[in-house]
């Protein structure tokens, strides 16, 4: 079978994980605008965005490891990766777990725009009439919806973890004062 089919599937995987992030980023930025106080949840949500993006990258790494199981040899890895630069770029999202890198929230947006570009390209080709295959755009919209749900779920999970840790930290501080 042709490798271009598997390369297309790998591109769809990458889009499924990372292309929905720019919309989530924009929505959270609009919600958190003007609420930059440290104790305000809406202001704190903006600073949690890179960690949600790192969680999505970690989930992507988990999928790749599951797909390669049980053979993790370098030859098996090389033969299963059809777009090495894009896969490497996607795995770089794990670096946003590092707080010094996570402080630059705009880097997460720039990182995800690479994958959003493929969606925008297919949309442009469909609108301009360069391609008449509606299945490509239909697939892209399904993948984009899935990506939005994955990114939203990761963001909600990070916010819940943050709230739980904040609750216990505040509870510990009030006990220490008494």
Q: What is the pLDDT of residues 98-146, one digit of tens each?
A: 999 999 999 999 999 999 999 999 999 988 887 778 888 899 999 999 9
CA–CA distance, 153 with 45 (Å, rounded to integer): 14
Q: How long a stretch of residues is the chain?
A: 178
Q: What is the CA angle 147-98-62, rounded to 5?
A: 45
Domain residue extents for the chain: 3-177
pLDDT at 34 over 70: no
Q: For residue 97, what is the DSSP state?
A: G
84-112: buried (b, 16+ CB within 10 Å) or exposed (e) per residue? eebbeebeebbebeeeeebeebebbbebb
pLDDT band for 2, please (50, 70, 90 cuts): low
pLDDT band at 1 (very low <50, low <70, confident <90, very high): very low
Q: Report residue 79 CA to chain centroid gap.
A: 25
């Amino acid at each position: 079978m042709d490798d271009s089919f598997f390369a297309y599937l790998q591109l769809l995987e990458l889009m499924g994980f990372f292309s929905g992030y720019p919309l989530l980023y924009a929505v959270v930025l609009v919600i958190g605008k003007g609420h930059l106080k440290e104790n305000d949840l809406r202001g704190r949500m903006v600073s949690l965005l890179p960690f949600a993006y790192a969680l999505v990258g970690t989930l992507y790494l988990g999928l790749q490891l599951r797909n390669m199981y049980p053979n993790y040899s370098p030859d098996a890895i090389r033969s299963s990766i059809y777009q090495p630069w894009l896969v490497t770029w996607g795995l770089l999202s794990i670096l946003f777990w590092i707080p010094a890198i996570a402080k630059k929230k705009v880097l997460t947006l720039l990182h995800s725009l690479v994958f959003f570009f493929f969606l925008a390209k297919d949309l442009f080709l469909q609108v301009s009439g360069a391609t008449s295959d509606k299945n490509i755009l239909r697939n892209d919209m399904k993948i984009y919806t899935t990506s939005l749900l994955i990114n939203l779920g990761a963001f909600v999970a990070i916010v819940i973890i943050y709230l739980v840790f904040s609750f216990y930290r505040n509870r510990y501080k009030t006990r220490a004062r008494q």
